[in-house]
Structure 1
Amino acid sequence: MMGIYVKKHILCICLLLLFFALPAQANDYKHSVQGSVVDNITGMGVTAKITLMTADSVVIDTVTAKIAEMPYDNGYHIAYYVFKDAVTAKGKYIIKAEKEGYDVCYMNCELRSTRENYIRVKQIRMTKIVEHELKEVTVVASKVKMVMKGDTIVYNANAFSLAEGNMLDALIARLPGAKLEKDGRIYVNGRFIQSLLVNGHEFFAGNPKLALENLPAYTVNKIKVYNKAGTKSRLMQRNPKLALENLPAYTVNKIKVYNKAGTKSRLMQQKMGDNTYVMDVRLKREYATGYMANLEAGGGTQKRYKLRGFGMKFSDKERMGAFFNVNNLNDNQRAALTGKWSPQDVGDGLLTVKNAGISYLRFFNNEFSWFTTENTWQHINTDNESITHTQTYLPNGNSFLHNHSKQLNSSDKWESRNALSVEGGIFSTTNFLTISYLRNNGFGSTNSATANETTKLNTLLSRNSFESSDFNFDFSTSNYVKYITDLIRGDFSVSYNRNKQKQFMLNNVQYLQGGQPNDHRNNYFDMPNQKLKLSAGVGYDFNICKTTFTPEYSYTYTYNKASNLLYRLDWIAGRDINQFNILPSTSNVLLSVLDNNNSYRFNEYRNEHRFNFHYFKFCRKLFDGEFTVNLPLRLLNADFHYYGVNEQRFSRRKLFFEPDIRLSHWSEDVSWVFTAGMESDFPTLLATADYRNDSDPLNIRLGNKDLRNLHHYDVDANITFNGENEKTISLSANYHRTDNQVAYALIFDKTTGASIIYPTSVNGNWNTKFEVEFKRALDKANKILVSNNFVTKYNHCVDMASIAGSTESQRSIVNNWEFGDELKVNYRLNDNYEFTFHTGGKYYLINSERVGFEKIKASDYNIGLNAQIVLPWELQLTTDMTMFARRGYQQTEMNTTDWIWNVQLARTFLKGHLTAKLQGFDLLQQPPIGFGMFSWHVPS
């Protein structure tokens, strides 16, 4: 204890010395001056001669403003200028702008504090007096797929050959270093893309799949991947990418890129450590302004159909979009022509989707002040049938569960996302309002059997039906005010959720051993739930040069109210035992069959106080990157009131220390990121209540009041090297450990096949991952591109298991290894011929030292060829043939070999406005799936 006490005081002394030493450093700091110049009428940039002078007109320096693309690409291009390290003393200065054909303009500015990093000059608007007509220049460029400049990757969409009618998802899947998951998540060089932007702004925010599946690939010009800075950096003028030499100037042969400013970083005009990793899809000029529409319709064998429409309008002031999609094709079939459509991806059921949405975005005085509303509706019907085999490893013999289920579900979801952002020179406010409603219903049946290694123990026949509704309301506001060099922040949010769920279950359990009678139950569950969360916070950013100290405080209140009421309809006298899905006519009868032993309700109250000290520094001399540390103390109070067979009231109080650190460096040649941190929390308080729930006689659940607090530790690292010939090497590694992880111990009855399940705290659960990605062009013309991705994962799993009658549960440790590799070789002869060889595989090794555990050695692998060829009569052929194999699985039906051959034949008519497609999926299956489709494009 004395050692901890001394260490804490040493840390405080070091922080105080650092705090008082920095103001002296600020006195010798040199300050830059930056601003922009535009035409007063058109708003376009003017490449004027800019002169910086003292208040008495003594010239300090002269530069020329250069054109740079606006972050949101509204059609405007502004000219920026910067005087680097030009000012050392506080006081007033004069900016003079001169350009032939324009009146001379002057603008005053002032350095009010030596702690200011930049002087931000008000935008100069020049009045034109003479017009000059410029000669037309034609530039021919080679098709380079990828350019790396600074911290930004730029992909040239025109360098990729795509099948006619493909959407944005097909284009992103082809990008070197990019990986598109089936759920819409995007990774580039091993790093997760946190936001997908279209022309600098989110497209149907929160649902990137809408842009991926509805935005035609032919509209895309460039795709940029970069770190998006926040509002604080804009206000504080600490974003060096706003300096002119690092701002973009798009030309055909050369592309410069920048860190796009967001909330905090934009306000402060300097790096504030609030960057996000984004992918920005830039539309071609003819689609960036004006309107376009796309209509697609098709039908196929096995009663397959699809109807999709999409339209949007872009201008410098607003954006409007609308879409609808009706189909009975499983979503994973979209990747059918890339070799990613494995037999395991095809579900046993049928998915029918109907969705529609409208979006409107309106800009105000600048590109950072806007209002947006996005409203969507989605209807999904699912018809699923599944067969599963589950093996549970137990001491002295394992158990086996065979399950066959059918389920029909229908859901409707309405969602409205709204946002308002207003940003000025010294303030910013961003407000979000989201309202959603989900209605769900369905019914199904289950037939399962439990057995040991020699004998069947029980069977279960079950029917179920349910209906549920879920309402969500979320509002949040973030507000910033700049005070000279500092920033004041205030946040508030409120969220409310109301969930109602009702379920009927008719179960018949037959015990085949031990002579126990059958268990027949007709259950009705009524499970309403409400949750309210209020949060507010304040912070003050104290900035000295490129260093930020931020004390922060936030308070969060959470209220959770839930009920789980079980009614045994089979207890009603005279009721048909098989009558299902019908409630009694009177409420008194229903109340009389309430199963008090398995019904409960609870109220949970949480109060959270969080005190944080945030430190951020842009370390240009040390490693030319960012260094961030958070030292939060979180005081968490929780009160839990449980009402079941007996009433229970208990509380938990704990002060958690949850530090984290982040270091990053971005350059044209090498970029790296390192993060580490820890988080703590209470276990689910319901699991700590003393209860027994035997509503499912085969799975009896208990609580455990001795559950301990959880502690999570995470370490992530990524480094990427960039070279010539589109060469990139990316290394990624991560480590995650959880102390006191909640595992569900199992006590198995070898006579009946029933299990008693209860939560328990265990240590020793951790996992790690290492990944290497490599890609480069093999020839000078960049016609042959090779890429390889190697991944290894290890998961150290710890849980508890025992046999009924044992004196104690046994600790079970299982080692899970996974090794995977993917290789692609792409050859693009010209726009008419492109071929891709792809192969990959995964090897699984699962072992344990526990007695009776059978080691698992299994593998999945594939090899295939993809081709895209332009045939005579302007026909475009896209085809992929891939062999998928699985080996080493204990269930023989899982060891399979499948050849998948998919083909698409397409042709455009009416100058590209109409596209006809004929698709064949899995042509080697009997019968194959055919699909014909027409796509109609209306240009601007």
Structure 2
Amino acid sequence: MPKKLLILLALNLCILSVFAQKASIRGSVVDTIERKKLQNSSIVLIRSTDSIMVKTVRANEKGEFELTNLKKGDYSLLISYPKMADYVRDIRLTDSSKFNLGPIHMETKTFLLNEVKIQAERQAAIKMRGDTIVFQADSFAVKPNANVQDLLRRLPGIEVDKNGAIKAAGEDVNTVLVEGEEFFGDDPLLATKYLKASSVKEVQVYDKKSKQTELTGIEDGKKEKIINIKLKDNAKNGYLSTLDGNSDLNHFKNIGGMLGIYKGKMKAAVYGNSSNLNQDSKITAAMSKLKGGDYDMIEVMDDGSTISYMSGGDYDDYFSPTNGLPDYTTLGAHFSDKWNENKLGLKLNYKNNDARVDDIRTSNGQNLLPNGTSFFSSGRTTDYTRKTGQNLKGNFEIFVDSLSTLKISFSG
């Protein structure tokens, strides 16, 4: 019995020791000029060794904040508030550190010297701007000629696998925007693989309401993680091209290519694919996600529920393997632009498909009779099919005001 009590006592001491080894940081955020408490100030703790964001909190109504259960190590504390210069402080924590920073006085940007502002901006590799996490791209080193995927892999909380799939804060990212707009569609591959990291100014990560909520104004509780890439001023106009080729240099081939130009809001591209394999090219698969429209009409019912009516099916946009020896050719084009201070928008997508399939079947058989006689048979059947088609999809948007948008979708 005494032995069991000693073991339990030892375990309790170990548990208490573990809890006692967690450090904390606390303080309050104050406006230097007006001496008021800065509620909802953003507080971000970044690990100095690898720039990983450890914790982020908001100041309460009294401007107070507390970061608890911290491990020992070197950190950078970043505090930001609209129209205030960022506060940055390096902190070294031990297992039992209890930092009380007291009142932290935030200076307005207009009262700071240019040299101080420049220095503060360079130190703030990560900012909280409202509910958006903002990464300053030049603060994260990448190799020369690296693409945006390489840059994203360096950012805290963002993961990119070998196929280009992206996760932010553990959630899937299915849409990557450039300057707040689709970059030849919302497929992350087009922006992250073919844009250079050196052209990026900022990477913004935020949650966006569902399209149904945006169109109806009725909150459905659904949100998706979005990445928006802000380009440097000298990189907002350019072109991109890519070739995806696979061949045995004899008979089999799967070749796809795309050439696009972008200038401000205007984007135009042509693409094509030629294949005699039962698989789609990466280029065609990515460009297939260029859609002309999402909804034709949303009807709000008496009970608050909504019904979405959609037209212009996308069934022809997706590759479907088939039997036989295929020979596919696909050609397509995309155009989108906005005018009149972004109040008018047009998107057009054209696609031409030509699918030819030779289906050759052979058979051989042997029949044995009771008297031992054998009959042999053989056969050969050849089927040739060809399917061609083309379609044009698009939409025209008129932004009436901040609450109303007229969207006309068409396809044929």
TM-score normalised according to structure 2 size: 0.42
Q: Which protein has greater RCO, CA pairs closer than 8 Å, 6+ apart?
A: 2
Structure with the larger strand share: 1
Choose between structure 1 and 2: higher helix proportion.
2
| Bigger-Rg structure (1/2) | 1
